[in-house]
Structure 1
Amino acid sequence: MRVFTLAAAATLLITSGSALAQSKQDFRLTNKTGYTIDKVYVAPSKSNDWEEDVLGRDTLANGEWVDITFPKKNQVCSYDLKVVYDDNTPVEWYNFDLCEISKISIFYSKSEDKTWAKYE
């Protein structure tokens, strides 16, 4: 399993493998689309900026997952998520309550040309 040690937006960290729970907003993002995800952005819902790609130079292949962690002092719960596939196709979701959600899985149906997220 790869280990990512990148800091993005000065407060968002991403790691793969076993992660230490740092805040209630931490979540696992799993790619079940059948395609490679080139970029992942996580930003507070009230923000007008996606800020930095939390994957940096890495990608998230189909079947892989990453744990996205936040510092303990973070109090924001509502976040938006944007992924960009390796063909530059973006998909966005809004208002995930990361204080209640610990896992987000992304899916894609080629026959329906539809991408969706399931969370728990």
Structure 2
Amino acid sequence: MLASVPVQEHNRARADTVSARNNSFDGSKARMLKKAVLLGFLALSGMSHAADADFTLVNRTGYAINEVFISPTKKDNWGKDRLGSNQLLNGQARKFKFGDTKNCVQDIQVVFADDDSEVEWEGFNLCELNKITLRYNRKTREVSADSE
């Protein structure tokens, strides 16, 4: 028990030394350090938010897809084909980049390879989803999707 008293006193003396060093730290340097830490945090949080908008599209429609378009919900501004010269075969998945985080809710339109028919799925919040599995019944023209 006697040995623990000097150790505690040593730790207290060491803490006082560290505290004295911290008190002598220049105030302007401390403010600059706080700003740098805050800016770094904001930059990283913005980058992770943008990456969160990317999503994986899984084709479970029963048909190969030739074209994929994404548009803000309820607008017919489909833009460019996101697949390019590729096809998304039934059962395949592909990751898509999405950076329009001001318009997170989007519709998806696909064009099938076998008959060039177009089908739309509406209202996906791409900022909150990681994976969308598209399903389609051509006989009933019913569309559905699973999302994660």
TM-score, with structure 1 as normaliser: 0.71
More strand by share: 1
1:39 aligns to 2:72 (yes or no):
no
* Separation of aligned partners in 1, 2:76 and 2:134: 23
For 2:68, the aligned partner's letter is: V
**Candidates 98, 105, 108, aligned match of 2:133:** 105
1:68 aligns to 2:102 (yes or no):
no
1:89 aligns to 2:117 (yes or no):
yes
* Separation of aligned partners in 1, 2:76 and 2:117: 20
1:109 deviation in Å? 3.3
* Separation of aligned partners in 1, 2:106 and 2:139: 29
For 2:102, the aligned partner's letter is: Q
Where do 4+ consecutive residues of structure 1 move more than 6 Å? none
For 2:108, the aligned partner's letter is: L
Q: Provide structure 1 residue ranges, at least 5 long, that are not aligned to the other structure.
A: 1-20
> SS where residue 51 of structure 2 aligns?
coil
> SS where residue 84 of structure 1 aligns?
strand
Q: Provide structure 2 residue ranges, at least 5 long, that are not aligned to the other structure.
A: 1-48
1:34 deviation in Å? 1.8
Q: Share of identical aligned residues, percent? A: 36
1:28 aligns to 2:64 (yes or no):
no
Q: Which one scores higher on RCO, CA 8 angstroms, separation ≥ 6?
A: 1
**Candidates 53, 57, 60, aligned match of 2:81:** 53
More helix by share: 2
For 2:107, the aligned partner's letter is: D
Query: 1:39, 1:55 within 8 Å by CA — same for their partners in 2?
Result: yes
> What RMSD in Å do the two structures reach over aligned CA positions?
2.2
1:110 deviation in Å? 5.2
TM-score, with structure 2 as normaliser: 0.59
Count of aligned pairs between the two proteins: 99
Query: 2:56, 2:94 within 8 Å by CA — same for their partners in 1?
Result: yes
1:22 deviation in Å? 5.0
For 2:55, the aligned partner's letter is: F
For 1:97, the aligned partner's letter is: N
* Separation of aligned partners in 2, 1:46 and 1:27: 20
* Separation of aligned partners in 2, 1:46 and 1:109: 22
